[in-house]
């Protein structure tokens, strides 16, 4: 499997955010997308997930499921945690497992040690707990591509380490990972992409 982006450009509100971005990632590789606010990090990763459009360029996935879109073969975790507030933590995981096509709720609970709050409705979770629940989808249902937008937001040190371990395991098992961030994630990323005035 190989994700290839050529000449990618994006605009927002009539303003060009970036142009001629090149991406080439194979199994077992990660890309860390860096840059200041407004540089287009979120726009880029949302467009890769199929939630936005590129103004120019092409994006192809070689070796994937020909019957599924790139977005259907990826986990996208954005700024919104996408939890159902009336459902408990365990019920949210069960819903995702059903909707996304398989997965064991126990795997989701173990990802960030959510056992103690498994029966708590999501509406009562702290910001950090909601983020951990959202990220637990990564372990709950296997997907070859992970698209993570500022995944460490609201996480404490222990949860950040668990996330790093998950990302490392995904890359080591042959997955493809793209993440946007202002901070060092510590995972084994093969390369970095600097947008805006960020240093390469």
Domains of the chain in start order, with CATH, are: 2-82+127-194 (3.40.50.300)
Q: What pLDDT score does 199 carry?
A: 38
Q: What pLDDT score does 192 carry?
A: 87
Q: What pLDDT score does 107 carry?
A: 93
| Nearest-5° Cα angle at 163, 182 to 128 | 75
Helix (H) or strand (E) holding 41: helix 41-48
Rounded-to-5 percentages of helix, strand, coil across the chain: 30, 30, 40
The CA distance from 179 to 189, in Å, is: 9
pLDDT, averaged per 10 consecutive residues of the chain (200 residues), comes to: 95 88 94 88 94 94 91 92 94 93 90 96 96 95 95 92 93 94 68 69
């Amino acid at each position: 499997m190989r994700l290839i982006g050529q000449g990618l450009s994006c605009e927002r509100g009539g303003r060009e955010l970036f142009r001629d971005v090149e991406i080439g990632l194979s199994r077992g590789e990660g890309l860390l997308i860096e840059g200041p606010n407004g540089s287009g990090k979120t726009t880029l990763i949302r467009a890769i997930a199929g939630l936005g459009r590129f103004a120019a360029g092409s994006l192809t996935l070689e070796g994937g499921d020909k019957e599924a879109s790139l977005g259907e073969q990826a986990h996208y975790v954005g700024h919104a945690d996408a939890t159902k507030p009336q459902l408990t933590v365990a019920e949210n995981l069960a819903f995702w497992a059903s909707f996304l096509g398989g997965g064991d709720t126990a795997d989701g609970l173990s990802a960030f040690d959510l056992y103690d709050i498994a029966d708590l409705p999501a509406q009562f979770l702290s910001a950090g707990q909601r983020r951990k629940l959202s990220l637990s989808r990564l372990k709950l249902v296997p997907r070859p591509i992970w698209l993570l937008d500022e995944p460490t937001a609201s996480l404490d040190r222990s949860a950040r380490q668990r996330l790093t371990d998950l990302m490392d395991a995904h890359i080591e098992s042959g997955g493809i990972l793209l993440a946007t961030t202002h901070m060092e994630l510590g995972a084994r990323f093969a390369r970095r992409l600097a947008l805006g005035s960020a240093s390469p």
